Structure formats: structure tokens, C-alpha cells
Structure 1
Amino acid sequence: MEDVVLTIDDSSNSVQEGQAPRYAKIQESLRDAILSQRLPPSLVLLEGPLARMYGTSRGPVRKALELLHQEGLISRFEGRGFLATPEPETVTPERQTLMPEMLGLAADYKSQLDARPISDRIYAEVEEAVATCLAFGHFRIVETTLSEYYGVSRTVARQVLGRLRNQRLVEKDNYSHWLAGPLTAQAVAEDFEIRALLEPAALRASGPLLDKAELEAMKANTQRLIDHPELQSAESITLLEQDLHQRCLRHYRNRKACEMIAQSQLPVIVNRMFFQTVGVPPNEPLLREHQLVLDHLLFGAFDAAASSLQAHLQAAAERTRRRLKVLSVFPEPGLPPYLLKIS
């Protein structure tokens, strides 16, 4: 395999013309490293070290690992991360330092991997940390500590925080302090109300423009998780949510409505944290609800698809309210030092 050079956009689905998505490049690189036995079977694969090695955020790495798990090349075990083997019972997990040659990367890979602005490279990790803190109180984000933590300028730190403010994850007070949280049931309910009003209309308009093969692939992914509960995880559910609530709505032409939907994602954060903390509940209703919407889309019943999506969002609102209560009793997780708890 040739040395891997990843120079495309960092989002999971955005690619430059003629290039594969970043997660697919990472998946290919890891697959080759596993099959060629450059990665020992006992090696624990973690998102953070892999993201740093590939010069990317954690999102594409998370998706690549999930797809490799679905392929049966890597496996889960009692600890955090994956093992580089489909037979976890045959090895003793080892946490080793990853080296470029283990992944087939060029000696000068750090200069080749990522030509994106520094703010783009650290954004996803900061977003994840901020999203995690929301359910555990009111936090101040110390701009100087953030810049020192990542070794970037204050200007870069402000760019990242500005993007988070556009997503309504942080705000500035009268003293120009960056604040995050607390995540309240009312705020989550308001986001669900906005989505229940706008997403069905967006799906009704976007549905006729969706590719049937793409919809069939989405349905197959949903069915795979229903048939194989062991594959259900926060990561795999997140990918399904992106399919229905982003990819299926992307042809909607109302730019302001799309911005409002994109800024109403607190429910996604709550459910992702719940799945990461507690695990995916048996017979998670979301899967069947998604399947019904996709069935309607495949049959060209776009009004029925919109109605099913609205029903799904209404049911999800009640589930998410209960899950937020569950999360409130868990201890605060370890957070980076730039997040200072106020209350």
C-alpha cells in the first residue's frame, strides 16, 4: 500500500472532487495495517492517539473504527477502545505508543497529513469536551488555557469558540467570558419543538431528490443494527442519526430553516452522552422509527415519511427528557483544564 496522505476536508461526508472521505482513507489505512500484521492483535486502538497520528479530529477516526468493527476486523473488549483482532479472548490487551510505520505512513507524514487551518483541526475535540460538560453544570471556558492546552494562539482559540457560539453550545457574558451550560430540560425540549416543526417539511421537500441506492444503504445499516445488537453503540447510532437528520434533509432549499435545524442539536448531545455512559438500551425504539421513515421514502410516500419523522421526534423528546434525568446522577467525567466549573 502506498503511504497514506490525508489532505481532504475533515468532515465525515465532505470530500473534494475525486477523493474518498477522510474516514474511508483512515479505514483503508487501518485495514491494511491489521491485515499486514503491522498492528499487533493485542494492540488497543483508541480514538485520541489515532486522531493525532492521522492529523484529524476524532469524528472520522470514530467512524472508521465502527466500520472496521462491522467488517469483523477489530473487536470490543471490557476496556475502552477496540482490539486489533476479531478474537479478543485470545490476546491480552496492550496499550502501546503508535508509530507512523505501524500505520504505513511516510516519515514526513506530519507535514503531509493536514493542510487545514489549525482551528479546524482542534474544533471537533473542543466541541466534544464542551458538549460533555453541558450536562454537569455551568462552566467557564478559559481562553488562555485553551490556547495553551493545544499550543495555539489566542486568535485560533477565539475562532474555535466563535464556531461553538454559532452552534449555540457556548455564549459570552457581559464581561466577555465564554460560558457553557447548564443543559436544561427546557432547552432540550425547545430544540425538539423546533426540529419537529422544521424537519418534516425539510424531508418532504428533500425526499424526492434522494438517491434510492443511498436510501437502501441507510436502511441496510439500520437493519444490521437491529439484527446484531452487539454492534449498537453511541458511534453507530450517531451515524444513523446523521443519515436521517442530515443527509436526508440536505436538498432542502430554505437556508434559514436549515440553520435553525443545525443550531437545535442539544438532543443529539444528550443521547450521545447517554449511550456512551449507559450503553444503548435493548430494543432501542429509535431503530424501528428510523426504519419506518426510510421505508416510506423508498416507496415514494413523502408525506407519510414526513409524518413518521414528526412522530419519531415527538417520541424521542420524551425519551431524551428521561435520559437527561439519568445523566444528572452520574459523577462528572474528567474534563480538560480549560473548562472551569462555576456551579
Structure 2
Amino acid sequence: MKSAQAVKEETGSARYEVIRQVLHNILLQQRIPQGLVLLEGPLAQLFGTSRVPVRRALSLLHEEGLIARFEGRGFIVAQDAETVEPIRIALTRELFGLDEQQALVDTRSSGEKVLENLQIVLSTAMVFGCYQVDEQKAAQHYNISRSVIRESLMRLRDKGLVEKEPYSQWLTGPLTAREIADHFEIRASLEPTALRKAGQHLAVDWLTASLEKTQRYKGKQLTAAELEWLEEDLHVRCLEPAGNKLMMQILRQNQSPFIVTRIFYDLLAIPVETAMLEEHCLVYEMLLKGNWDLAAACLRDHLERAQLRTLQRLKVLSVLPVPELPDFMEPH
């Protein structure tokens, strides 16, 4: 079955059409039982939208003969002429076989979408050299105002992905081995200490779920979103309960190591390294045992090993051809 993301990319259409296609695929694959009662409210909550697009999607599915009206309220998974026993159960992502983390309908503003895409473009470009960002061309490319582009670039500057001196152009890159080493030095100084403080505040259920998810990723090729979530679980969400907002701000600005990892796996399309996953798992296991000092030591060891892997990946990327970039990215 196609993912909701694949459907969104293919259609690029209204929310009701995205919902219709997701449900259409589920029904054709017979992923939900005959007789399941489909109500607007629970489906709207599931898709994170209002009832209006859900109502339109259900009406279209009814016209296709995939579902039938049910007692004047909602629909039932059945043909119009069929008599089936109604099944009234909670409509969950698990029931529909949908990803637990993925947004099913993209409700973001155009500015948020541009910000995400710009982040991908800039982080890719900086690995392959120094590039200048042309605001006017970027605005034309995304069909939005320059002010939105400028605001996005300012937010990405806070993440360390782009820089701008007064009266000069926006520049990104080049990402060097020295910069990678500096970023890891900062993380190795801050993260283990933060983990010691945060450990006692981390929920056992969350740690168990993070450990199990990391174990499931072994031998698998991950999407950029999955890889980012995996890294942020350990290097952001595990540390936030320490309560040091300034430290978290510094760590969020140190994105370079994650950038190299994302682009490396994206371009080579290979499974994520088992060693990295096992190191993540070891930290979670120590946290679950309540051994904060050992967990911090494991995290420091992971960062040292990750630095070596990242520098090796940077060397590999240096000999690969530069990916195609939008015309608003100009070599500097």
C-alpha cells in the first residue's frame, strides 16, 4: 500500500482528495474489516483536519461503491446491498496500518513548507562547497514573497545552516572536517552531562519504545525523516528534561554532523550502520537500568565513534558529483 506521503506527492491536491486516496488504498487492500463503521469525527481526528474534507472524501468513496451509508450517520465498510454486522471500534492508525509519527494530511502553511525545503537544499549544498542564496530567485522558485524567504533564512541561520554579514549575500558552506570536529567537541562536552541530569526524568515507557524502535531499524534503509527522528530521540529529546534551555539552543545550532549523515544515506541509498544503532540501544538500556553515569559514558563513547564515521562519510561525499540544486543556489 502506498504511504500517505507518497499519495500527497502524487496528487498535490486538496485535503479531501488526500484523505480519499489514503482510505481508497486501505479499502482496496482490505486492511480494515467488513462492517467497520466510519464516522466523520474520529476520522477527522485521525487525519488531523476538520470534518469537511472527511465528509467529502467519504461521499466520493460511497459514489465509488467502496462503502455504504449507515443508519443516516456515517458510513460502513460494505456494499450498498449488503447486510453486515456493524463493527464499532476506535479508528486508530494501528487499525488502518498507518505510520504512528507521520502527518497524514499536510496542514502546514506555505512558509513552513518553504522553510523545510530550504533546510534540505542548504544542508545539501554546504556539503559540496560554498554557495550563495539569491533571495529574488528563491522567491520566484517557491512563488512566494521575498520577505517569507528572508524570514526562513534567518531561522535557518539560527541553526547554523546559512550566514549573512550586513550588506552582503546569504552564504552557506563549505562544511569542513575542522567544523565537524568542532561540533562534536561541543556535543561531547555538553551531552553526557545533560544526560546525567535528565535520566531520572525520562519516562520508562518512552525509553522502552525508543529502544524497540531503534532495534527495528537494524538492517533497514531509513528515510530522511526516520533518520532525523532517530538522532533527535537520543541527542535532543533525551536531553531536554535536564532543563537547560541555553544548552539545548547551542545543541540545536550544531546540526552539521546530522547533515552529513542524512545526505550520505540519502545519496547512497544503503541501510543505516548497525554499529550506530547498537550504540544508541546501549544508551537506552543503561537509562532503563537507572545507571545515569554509565549511560552518559556510553553516550560520550558514541559521540567519539560518530565523529570518526562522520569524517569518513564526508570524504566519501567529497568524491561524489554535486546533486542538482535549484537555480537560486549559486556557487560562490
TM-score by length of 1: 0.66
Change beyond 3 A, Cα 1:233–1:249: same
Residue 188 of structure 2 is aligned with which of 171, 184, 196?
Answer: 196
Kept in 1, the 8 Å contact 2:221–2:272? The answer is no
Alignment size in residue pairs: 250
Residue aligning to 1:332: 322
* Other structure's SS at 1:165 match: helix
Deviation at 1:336, TM superposition (A): 1.1
Deviation at 1:73, TM superposition (A): 7.9
Deviation at 1:233, TM superposition (A): 5.0
Residue aligning to 1:144: 136
Alignment pair present for 1:164 and 2:181: no
Cα distance in 1, alignment partners of residues 108 and 290 from structure 2: 42
Deviation at 1:30, TM superposition (A): 6.8
Residue aligning to 2:254: 264
Amino acid at match of 1:329: V
Residue aligning to 1:101: none
Change beyond 3 A, Cα 1:322–1:171: same
Residue aligning to 1:293: 283
Residue aligning to 1:310: 300
TM-score by length of 2: 0.69
Residue aligning to 1:35: 26
Cα distance in 1, alignment partners of residues 214 and 206 from structure 2: 13
Kept in 2, the 8 Å contact 1:234–1:280? The answer is no
Residue aligning to 1:123: 115
Q: Greater Rg, structure 1 or structure 2? A: 2
* Other structure's SS at 1:137 match: coil
Deviation at 1:34, TM superposition (A): 2.1
Kept in 2, the 8 Å contact 1:233–1:279? The answer is no
Kept in 1, the 8 Å contact 2:236–2:248? The answer is no
Deviation at 1:230, TM superposition (A): 3.5
Deviation at 1:283, TM superposition (A): 4.8
Change beyond 3 A, Cα 1:30–1:321: farther
Residue aligning to 1:186: 178
Superposition CA RMSD, Å: 3.0
Offset from partner CA, 1:25-56 (integer Å, 9 cap, x none): xx998753421239xxxxxxxxxxxxxxx99x
* Other structure's SS at 2:242 match: coil
Amino acid at match of 2:203: D
Deviation at 1:237, TM superposition (A): 3.0
Which consecutive unaligned segments of at least 5 residues does structure 2 have? 5-17, 30-47, 50-92
* Other structure's SS at 2:182 match: helix
Paired-residue identity, %: 37
Cα distance in 1, alignment partners of residues 21 and 174 from structure 2: 38
Change beyond 3 A, Cα 1:183–1:115: closer
Which consecutive unaligned segments of at least 5 residues does structure 1 have? 5-26, 39-53, 56-67, 75-103, 106-112
Offset from partner CA, 1:308-343 (integer Å, 9 cap, x none): 00110011001100110000000011111111112x
Amino acid at match of 2:233: D
